């Protein structure tokens, strides 16, 4: 018989100042480096310095449901990357501009509160937070255990 997961629903805001913590800065084996087809840990970039003071994680969003709550500081550029599965991003506060390439041409779109962005598996993109930063959720169609992220050599603090 399938086990049911039951938990109370809590109302909270992803745009207020409560429930945020520093992003874990441990590199995972699921973070890969496109340039060498190896691990991000072996790349000539500094993950901790790039993300350390620029991104926080919500302690109130349960990642067991394949959802992360994230917040970026104003104008922070998340380095260019792609995933092995589709990703849905929903903005709750602030904005970000996403850029990607389609049919050989660079595309760009700004996503604001209440709007969403779907990145298709294998599509490389970069996100840059707006002047007020951005608070958003990201989610995938299956467990994050299966998620792989390939990072490109753009917008990193060098090691």
Domain ranges of the chain: 30-151
65 three-state secondary structure: helix
| pLDDT of amino acid 12 | 65
**Interatomic CA distance for residues 63 and 137, integer angstroms:** 10
Q: Using pLDDT thresholds of 50, 70 and 90, give the confidence band for residue 7.
A: low
Instruction: Please report which helix (H) or strand (E) contains residue 50, including its range.
Output: helix 47-51
Give the pair of three-digit tokens for residue 41.
């840990």
Span between the terminal Cα atoms of the chain, in Å: 51
| pLDDT of amino acid 27 | 85
| pLDDT of amino acid 3 | 59
pLDDT in tens, 93-108: 999 999 999 999 999 9
CATH number for the domain whose boundaries are 30-151: 2.60.120.10
49 three-state secondary structure: helix
Residue 41 DSSP code: G
Which residues on adjacent β-strands are paired with residue 107? Answer: 100
Residue 100, number of CB atoms within 10 A of its CB:
19
Global pTM exceeds 0.85: yes
pLDDT in tens, 60-96: 887 777 889 999 999 999 999 999 999 999 999 999 9
Give the pair of three-digit tokens for residue 50.
């790039």
Contact 70, 40 (CB under 8 A): no
User: Picking from 10-14, 46-50, 90-94, 107-111, which range would have the lowest pLDDT averaged per residue?
Assistant: 10-14
User: Which residues 6+ apart lie within 8 Å of 27 measured at CB?
Assistant: 39, 40, 41, 47
């Amino acid at each position: 018989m399938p086990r049911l997961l039951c938990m109370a629903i809590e109302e909270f805001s992803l745009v207020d100042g409560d429930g945020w913590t520093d992003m874990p800065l441990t590199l995972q084996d699921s973070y890969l480096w496109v340039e060498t087809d190896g691990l991000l840990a072996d790349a000539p970039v500094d993950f901790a310095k790039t993300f350390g003071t620029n991104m926080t994680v919500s302690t109130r969003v349960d990642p067991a449901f394949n959802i992360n709550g994230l917040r970026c500081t104003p104008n922070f550029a998340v380095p260019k990357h792609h995933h092995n599965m589709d990703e849905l991003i929903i903005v709750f506060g602030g904005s970000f501009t996403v850029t990607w390439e389609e049919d050989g041409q660079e595309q760009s779109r700004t996503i604001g509160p209440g709007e969403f962005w779907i990145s298709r598996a294998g599509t490389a993109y970069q996100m840059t937070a707006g002047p007020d930063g951005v608070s958003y959720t990201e989610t995938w169609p299956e467990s994050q255990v299966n998620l792989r992220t390939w990072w490109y050599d753009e917008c990193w603090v060098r090691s």
